[in-house]
Amino acid sequence: MPMFRPAAVALATAVAAAVAANPAPAGETLAAVLARGSLRCGVNVSVPGFSSPDSQGRWTGLDADICRAVAAAVLGSADKVEFVPLNAQQRFTALQSGEIDLLSRNTTWTLGRAAGLKLRFGPVVFYDGQGFMVAKTLGVKSATELDGASVCVQSGTSTEQSVADWFRARRMSFKPVVMDNFDELNRAFFAHRCDVYTTDRSGLASIRATMAGSPEDYAILPEAISKEPLAPAVLQKDAEWAEAVFWSVSALIEAEERGVSSQNVRAMRDSGDPALGRMLGASSDLGDALGLRADWAYQAILQVGNYGEIYERNLGAPLGLARGPNALWTQGGLLYAMPVR
């Protein structure tokens, strides 16, 4: 256990008081979002489980709910989101041009995108891996049997490079069937214009469950050929906005770790637990450092739910996707929230 000298305690107290008295100024994007009164969030055109409009035009999915959670934290209402559907080619341009404030579109965190495109990611909201789906009539049990196959893949994605790298590394050949439009790609696969469909394994599960006439006729092969950590993204140059988004999302994961849900968050805020009081805005104002209101985390959890609730609502119950690596670190998964304190 570390030992603290009285002088160090006094210094820490003075610093904390100075920060509380002089909260960080709002960044350019945060100021624009607050002035506009709405969050412009880029999402996928239609990937059930992640982002897709329902029959009433309401956007649903894990990525859509991440948008809502950020809106609840920043603006106090999860309904203050303008959803902007984007294809793979449009997404980064839309963010860099200012058309959207936040990209929450099953996008992989890579060095090229972070350093090359000057984006800031995180936290990871879904750990995924690229895979292959085939019709069971092909009799294929493993990706190693795909030499010479035609492969449907969407252009403008990291998927396109990963599949080429994977086949080349194994000295196998394949015929890429590349399309820009997601819906056209789906139709091409189910019309048997290609032997194999490749994208993130979660996407394959979504496509099979919602777009195949007979899902049981299709198999997702066991191999995952890449790492695909999916995370929301903002512009790297706006550090204040990046911090607001990062901690709004991290709070959803920490809430699940601490057993705080949309159903009990009121009681947990008033429970007298000092750590929960700080996180939920009852006994301190961590929002000052982010340029947000005191109850930023409380509102996100109350209105949208913790990470586990969001996962089950969008991916667990409707698609049957087990948590796997997306379980909490305390339960054998990879999800580990940075401490909100």
State in words which class domain 14-127+230-331 has: alpha beta
Residue 282 has pLDDT above 60, yes or no: yes
Averaged pLDDT, 52-73: 97
Task: Classify 335 as helix, strand or coil.
Answer: strand
Where does 63-183 show beta strands of DSSP type E? 81-86, 102-103, 119-121, 126-128, 130-135, 149-154, 174-179
For residue 244, what pLDDT is reported? 97
pLDDT at 328 over 90: yes
Q: In this predicted structure, what is the pLDDT of residue 181?
A: 87
In the predicted model, is pLDDT for residue 178 greater than 90?
A: yes
- Can you give the pLDDT at residue 285? 79
Proportion of the chain above pLDDT 70, given as a percent: 92
Tell me the CATH number for domain 130-226. 3.40.190.10
pLDDT value for 46 = 87
Sheet holding 149-154, edge to edge: 174-179, 149-154, 196-200, 130-135, 218-220
The reported pLDDT for the residue numbered 277 is: 93
Q: What is the pLDDT of residue 13?
A: 37
Residue 123 pLDDT > 90, yes or no?
yes
Helices (H), ranges, 133-273: 158-169, 182-190, 201-211, 239-257, 265-269
Across the range 62-80, mean pLDDT stands at 98
- Domain 14-127+230-331 and domain 130-226, same fold? Reply is yes
Burial zone of 101 (CB within 10 Å; 0-12 exposed, 13-18 middle, 19+ buried) = buried
Task: Read off the pLDDT of residues 234-256 as tens digits, 9 standing for 90 and up.
Answer: 999 999 999 999 999 999 999 99
Confidence band of 4 (pLDDT split at 50, 70, 90) = very low
**Residue indicated by tokens 């947990």:** 268
User: In this structure, how many other beta carbons lie within 10 angstroms of the beta carbon of residue 291?
Assistant: 20
Going by pLDDT thresholds of 50, 70 and 90, the confidence category of residue 341 is confident
The pLDDT score that the predictor gives to residue 7 is 36
- Residue 39 — pLDDT band, cuts 50, 70, 90? very high
d(Cα 83, Cα 17) in Å, to the nearest integer? 39
Domain boundaries, the chain: 14-127+230-331, 130-226
Q: Is 137 left (phi over 0), alpha (psi -120 to 50) or beta?
A: alpha
Taking 50 as the threshold, does the pLDDT of residue 191 lie above it?
A: yes
User: Does 158 or 251 have the greater pLDDT score?
Assistant: 251
